[in-house]
Amino acid sequence: MSNKHTIIVVEDENSILNILEMVFKSSGYQVYTAKNGKEALMMISSYCPDLILLDLGLPDMDGLKIIQSVRSWSSIPIIVVSARNHEKDKVTALDLGADDYLTKPFGTAELLARVRTALRHASGDNDKNKAYEGTFKVGALTIDYDKRQVFKNGENVHLTQNEYKIVALLSKYSGKVLTYDFMMKQIWGPNIGSDNRILRVNMANIRRKIETQPADPAYIFTEIGVGYRMAEEKG
Amino acid sequence: MWKQKLRDGVVTFALLGATTLLCILMQSVNGNANFAQILFVLAVFLTARFTHGYLWGILSSLIGVLLVNFVFTYPYWEFNFTLSGYPITMICMLAVSVITSSLITQNKNQELTRLEMEREKMKSNLLRAVSHDLRTPLTSISGACSVLLESGEQLSRPEQNKLLSDIREEADWLIRMVENLLSVTRIGEEKTAKVVKTPEPVEEIVADLSGKFKKQFPKSPLTVVIPEDFLMVPMDAVLIEQVLMNLLENAVIHSKTATKIVLSVSRTQDDAVFSVSDNGVGIDKEHLLHIFDGYFSGKETPLSDGKRNMGIGLSVCNAIIRAHKGKMSAENLKEGGCRFSFTLPLEEEKHYEQ
């Protein structure tokens, strides 16, 4: 690839930084590294990378501040890396505008897949402006945005208004995690409050309608404590 | 704190009021009130016994003395501080209250110290066991790395790969153990042992878990059985997932010959019941008795020296379930293999249905 994607990796642990650098270089990315928040902010604004991989636990500042600061002037995709016991941080990071998160420890295959997804989302038309037009296909599932209908193996799956809205929303951001909060506000408006039971119940109904095995879903995945993610359109 | 004070105040005044009423009643029957002092001493004693600290006992003795003086000694309904025995009564009542309070406080403190000591002991047991368990894989990782660094060239490619995959396997195990230990810190202070519960749909937990599990053990024969109906269970999802993961891992690693692993969820009137069963070799009878308290009881730890014993994992599971106010159990199945199950109370569900 003559025109490499650039990635800035922000991570304070040397050994992990080394590994990440190697992984990205060997996969054909241009990599810059930063070990603390200040350095990171400086490098991000001077290099304008295609993607930022950000560890939330930095020595000099809260990683969330970096997201806020970057989001104030750019929509560069940000993937957050965090330890497992901190779902709250993940949710906050996503709500502040991070695109995705990875939980330590993660495999390199997973890391690269998430990076590709984030880059694809960024290079394609901007998610936020993407209209509900045409169709979305994943596996045996087809969403017809014009007719507002969902088909599985060609058969119409009868969804309620809200169920359709949820599926359509997830499909628009397929491959990305949507937090409970974000989804609640998109579907039920800003005054819905924080009890997400209604969303969970709707989700259970959707699962029974579109998944062959609700306990082993193929289309909509749960990210425990964070939200939902829809499988991506292939090709 | 504030509530406790309120409670203590109520206790104090209820006791004093009851005593006064009793005295008035008896005075109207007997015509005199010679027993009033004794009854008030009893009231002071009881107050000191059932309230916290010195304040209420002393307050009660002061009020008691004044009441006895005012109501029950001649001249009635008048204060008279010139009575001959008055200072002695006063001093006696004060002494009763102070001594009772101090005895009880001392007793309570002793109880606390004992608990504290038990906790310390548990901690040091855990620490010893954990260090022992972590040392073995660390040694083998470090050893394998030295071999690769010093004489990597002499080894064939498959030999090198073998060493590398050993390193990865050991490191993965270490990561899982450390996750387990981190979970324990999440249960909060041991004294309160509380977890933050939010209602989670069982099917989502199970789906997420079976996905993760299949990634880790792609060839494992896992079957999942969940209830048809939508079931929300209040829990700390990350911790419960961890418990189930530990149980599934044990089923894979310890059952040795298992050709079937079943994760099932059902519900009873008040509980959700999760269970993991396999058709492997089962558990030794002796081991079964102490299977959950290996690391947290005072007993000498690992039964075997094997580095992959179930100790840390199961003790952590048990601690997590207890913090959820559930129960955990293990049994051997008649048809071979064993089953681990735990319950989670559904009680908070009602609150959400309103």
Mean pLDDT of B84-113: 79
pLDDT in tens, B253-276: 776 677 889 999 998 888 999 999
The residue extents of the domains of chain B are 2-112, 118-186, 198-353
Please report where in the chains the tokens 């974000």 appear, as a residue.
A182
Query: Residue B218: what pLDDT?
Result: 82
Query: Residue B298: what pLDDT?
Result: 38
Query: Residue B341: what pLDDT?
Result: 93
Q: Which of B120, B61, B121, B128 is nearest to B92 (CA)?
A: B61
Q: Is A223 strand, coil or helix?
A: strand
For residues B194 and B235, is the Cβ–Cβ distance under 8 A?
no
Q: Which of B104, B78, B97, B126 is nearest to B16 (CA)?
A: B97
CATH 3.30.465.10 fits B118-186, yes or no: no
Superfamily name with CATH number, domain B198-353: Histidine kinase-like ATPase, C-terminal domain (3.30.565.10)
Interface test with A, best of B179, B215, B230, B248 (most A CBs within 10 A): B230
Query: Residue B145: what pLDDT?
Result: 92
Residue A214 to residue B207, Cβ atoms within 8 A: yes
Give the predicted TM-score (pTM) of the model: 0.70
Residue B211 to residue A216, Cβ atoms within 8 A: yes
Residue B307 has pLDDT above 70, yes or no: no
**Please, what is the average pLDDT of chain B?**
79
Q: Give the H/E segment covering residue A122.
A: helix A108-123
Query: Residue B127: what pLDDT?
Result: 76
CATH 1.10.10.10 fits A131-230, yes or no: yes
pLDDT in tens, B194-203: 678 888 899 8
For residues A55 and A11, is the Cβ–Cβ distance under 8 A?
yes
Q: Which phi and psi (to 5°) does residue B53 adopt? A: 75, -175
Mean pLDDT of B32-55: 79
Per-residue pLDDT of chain A in tens (235 residues, 90 and over written 9): 457 899 999 998 888 899 999 999 999 999 999 999 999 999 999 999 999 999 988 888 888 999 999 999 988 999 998 876 677 888 899 999 999 998 887 888 889 988 998 888 877 655 555 667 788 888 889 999 998 999 999 899 899 999 999 999 999 888 888 999 899 999 998 888 778 888 999 999 999 999 888 778 889 999 888 899 998 876 4
C-alpha distance from A208 to closest chain B C-alpha (Å) = 10
pLDDT in tens, B207-266: 888 888 888 888 888 888 888 888 889 998 888 988 998 899 888 877 667 788 999 999
Q: In B228-250, which positions are buried (b, 16+ CB within 10 angstroms) versus exposed (e)?
A: eebbbbbbbbbbbbbbbbbbbbb
Query: Residue A52: what pLDDT?
Result: 95
Query: Residue A225: what pLDDT?
Result: 83
B211 touches chain A (CB under 8 A): yes
Q: Which of B2, B49, B40 is nearest to B18 (CA)?
A: B40
Cα–Cα separations (whole angstroms), residue B302 to B48, B181, B307: 48, 17, 9
The residue extents of the domains of chain A are 6-124, 131-230
Top-confidence range, A196-200, B43-47, B298-302: A196-200
Residues 241-280 of B with CB under 8 A from A: 241
Residues of A with CB under 8 A from a CB of B: 84-85, 87, 105, 195, 197, 200-201, 203-205, 207, 214-217, 221-225
The three state secondary structure string of chain B is: CHHHHHHHHHHHHHHHHHHHHHHHHHHHHHCCCCCHHHHHHHHHHHHHHHCCCCHHHHHHHHHHHHHHHHHHCCCCCCCCCCCCCHHHHHHHHHHHHHHHHHHHHHHHHHHHHHHHHHHHHHHHHHHHHHHHHHHHHHHHHHHHHHHHHHHHHHCCHHHHHHHHHHHHHHHHHHHHHHHHHHHHHHCCCCCCCCCCCEEEEHHHHHHHHHHHHHHHCCCCCEEEECCCCCCEEEECHHHHHHHHHHHHHHHHHHCCCCCCEEEEEEECCCEEEEEEEECCCCCCHHHHHCCCCCCCCCCCCCCCCCCCCCHHHHHHHHHHHHHCCCCEEEEECCCCCEEEEEEEECCHHHHHHC
Between A82 and B76, the higher pLDDT residue: A82
CATH 3.40.50.2300 fits A6-124, yes or no: yes
Q: What is the ipTM of this complex?
A: 0.79
The CA distance from A153 to A140, in Å, is: 5
The CA distance from B354 to B349, in Å, is: 9
